[in-house]
Amino acid sequence: MVTLTEAEASENNLPKGGGALVYRQRLATRLTHWLWAISLFFMLLSGLQIFMARPDLYIGQQSGFGFDNTVLSIGARQVDGEMQGVTTLFGTSFDTTGWLGLVPQGDGLARKAFPGWLTVPGYRDLATGRVVHFFFAWLLVATLFVWLIASAFNGHLREVWPSGRELKHLPRDVADHLRLRFVHDGRYNVLQKLSYAGVLFVALPLMILTGLTMSPGVVAKFPILLDVFGGRQTARTLHFVVMIALLLFFVIHILMVVLAGPLNELRSIVTGWYRTTPEKRP
Amino acid sequence: MTRLALSRRRFLTGAALASTATLAGCFDPLGDRDSTVRNVLETANSLTYRAQRLLLGSDDLAREYSESEIRQPQRPNGSTNPRDADYLALANQNFAPYRLKISGLVETPVEFSLDEIRAMPSRTQITRHDCVEGWSCIAKWTGAPLASLLQQAKVKPAARFVLFECFDTVENGFSGPIKYYESIDLRDALHPQTILAYGLNGDVLPVANGSPLRVRVERQLGYKMAKYIRSLVVTDDLHGHGDGGGGYWEDRGYEWFAGI
């Protein structure tokens, strides 16, 4: 970590009162961060486009048409002579007209799982959705690979990985977060480390593996994937569940950036420079 | 007051624009198959094809399941009831006059009757059919390995693809009816699980599932597995058929290699 001396800081005309400016994010970290952001954005919207072709989730090897193994189903049906968007989760149905199943399109409503603003392209086009999805899937995997290699060499991996000692501080860190008290010392706190490590080492690998389990080609080579995830349709369901988890991470990530000082946080992930909280002098 | 009204109107216009031309709507041009960006994105498909060809040996088999996993009839998809005159004439005679023609880059163009194909050594496999839409269905397929038919026709060394010409009209285009067609490379054509199926779940292949013959390409998605097969063409070039994409759906933007 590079720290500017006070002299250098004043030379750079930095406002007084803040703590030292530290070079917190290396180029590899910043670059991979934004490549992931772009990839995940397109993968989410194209993934929902793909899902729209069969907006049902099942458990097992196959989809139940002659039997029931459906856990989620988005559709539209006639209720009292009027169309209604219906989402069924574990057997319980909800009226989701306007949001899921029966969505705004032009001046009226269309029978579609998702509204246009949630998919790429905005209209129904499975072929394009797949082209977009698989392009960014390759980009995502390549970026993960670059990140892993770079981080192993430049020490970033150790910055993200929580140590046993840090894990003991977890309750205190949770309490700090709940009180919205953030420490800006240029290091990740343990909750931050857990969520970043969770995304990079659990969620994204799970996303990639469950995605590959849906490939009839890949599972011909690695049939074990079908056993690990309990069948192609279970893998498809897990792919969807991890997507929701990543979405939750994104929401909390953005919330934390806003709460912790959006300009400082944004500067650090764009330029690398981050202002720490001034240390209290004795 | 005027200023306020103006800014409010400007705000409303902005809001209206934002709601119609939403963020995702910006990417609608990706659906244009001639756009440069689309072509760049599609390079990932050839990467997928090469990666899977590198990874998958000729003999890596798709998983085969046990009888107990056949829990429902095979779900029919795409054409399920061709109305084409030549097809109906054959179907009315139980496909007795049917001849499967193999031509193109072969030493000896051949024709097989359904009885001849049924008399060949057969393969029965219980496999999972994965549709591009996302669903899967397990069924038992019986048929003759495509490799043994190709062997009798003697494929020329220059050959690269096997093209399936089908009976069923999928849509009526400006220049007449468009019939389903598909193609696979020789690697898949000669794969032991690639069969011309005439039996489904122990019975004769029903019309809804592609009688008299449908191909099984177990390491790819359902749209590769042409139904109602009329003839096979062995070729080194897919450009002369349909719009040149190598299949009905490929001509409509779907990737030719459907291994994922």
3-state per-residue secondary structure call for chain A: CEECCHHHHHHCCCCCCCCCEEECCCHHHHHHHHHHHHHHHHHHHHHHHHHHCCCEEECCCCCCCCCCCEEEEEEEEEECCEEEEEEEECCEEEECCCCCCEEEECCEEEECCCCHHHCCCCCCCHHHHHHHHHHHHHHHHHHHHHHHHHHHHHCHHHHHCCCHHHHHCHHHHHHHHHCCCCCCCCCCCHHHHHHHHHHHHHHHHHHHHHHHHCCHHHHHHCCHHHHHCCCHHHHHHHHHHHHHHHHHHHHHHHHHHHHCCHHHHHHHHHCCEEECCCCCCC
Number of C-beta neighbours around residue A156 at 10 A:
18
B258 within a domain of the structure (yes/no): no
The verdict on a CB contact (< 8 Å) between A54 and B71 is no
Q: Which residue has the higher pLDDT, A278 or A216?
A: A216
Q: Which chain A residues touch B22 with a CB distance below 8 Å?
A: 116-117, 122
The verdict on a CB contact (< 8 Å) between B128 and A63 is no
pLDDT computed for residue B26 by the predictor: 85
Closest CA to B142 of B74, B57, B231: B74
Distance from CA of A50 to the nearest CA of B (A): 7
Strand partners, B199: B142, B204
Cβ under 8 Å to A: B residues 108-137: 128, 130-137
pLDDT computed for residue A277 by the predictor: 79
Question: Which CATH number goes with the domain that contains B84?
Answer: 3.90.420.10
AA identity, residue A43: M
Q: DSSP 3-state assignment of B80?
A: coil
pLDDT computed for residue A138 by the predictor: 97
User: In this complex, which of A128, A215, A232 lies closest to B136 when CB atoms are compared?
Assistant: A232
Those residues with Cβ within 8 angstroms of residue A104's Cβ, 6 or more apart along the chain or in another chain: A98, A110, A115
User: In this complex, which of B24, B43, B218 lies closest to A120 when CB atoms are compared?
Assistant: B24
pLDDT computed for residue A7 by the predictor: 45
Range of the domain at B133: 36-252
User: In this complex, which of B24, B75, B249 lies closest to A122 when CB atoms are compared?
Assistant: B24
Domain total in chain B:
1
Rounded distance between C-alpha atoms, residue B63 and residue A187, angstroms: 48
State the pairing for strand pair B99-104/B229-235. parallel
Cβ under 8 Å to A: B residues 25-54: 25, 27-28, 30-31, 38, 40-45, 47-48, 52
Rounded distance between C-alpha atoms, residue B168 and residue B57, angstroms: 33
Residue B209 in contact with residue B79, Cβ under 8 Å? Answer: no
pLDDT computed for residue B183 by the predictor: 98
The verdict on a CB contact (< 8 Å) between B260 and A134 is yes
pLDDT computed for residue B58 by the predictor: 78
Q: Residue ranges of chain B with pLDDT lower than 70?
A: 1-24
The verdict on a CB contact (< 8 Å) between A216 and B62 is yes
Predicted complex ipTM: 0.90
Task: Select from A49, A62, A209 the residue whose CB has the most chain B CBs within 10 Å, as the one to mutate to test that interface.
Answer: A62
Q: Which residue of B has its CA nearest to A44?
A: B24
The verdict on a CB contact (< 8 Å) between B47 and A138 is yes
The verdict on a CB contact (< 8 Å) between A216 and B60 is no
The verdict on a CB contact (< 8 Å) between A123 and B260 is no
B69 within a domain of the structure (yes/no): yes
Tokens of B233: 């063409």
pLDDT computed for residue A1 by the predictor: 46
Rounded distance between C-alpha atoms, residue A96 and residue A76, angstroms: 9
Task: Select from B36, B53, B133 the residue whose CB has the most chain A CBs within 10 Å, as the one to mutate to test that interface.
Answer: B133
Residue A191 in contact with residue A249, Cβ under 8 Å? Answer: no
Average pLDDT, chain A: 91
User: In this complex, which of A61, A121, A220 lies closest to B69 when CB atoms are compared?
Assistant: A61
Architecture of A2-55+114-275 per CATH? Answer: Up-down Bundle (1.20)
Domain map (residue ranges) of chain A: 2-55+114-275, 56-113
B156 within a domain of the structure (yes/no): yes
φ/ψ of B112, rounded to 5, equals: -125, 140
Distance from CA of B140 to the nearest CA of A (A): 14
Whole-model pTM?
0.91
B16 within a domain of the structure (yes/no): no
Q: Which residue of A has its CA nearest to B22?
A: A117
Residue B163 in contact with residue B241, Cβ under 8 Å? Answer: yes
Q: Which residue of B has its CA nearest to A52?
A: B133
pLDDT computed for residue B6 by the predictor: 46
User: In this complex, which of A51, A66, A134 lies closest to B44 when CB atoms are compared?
Assistant: A134
The verdict on a CB contact (< 8 Å) between A121 and B30 is yes
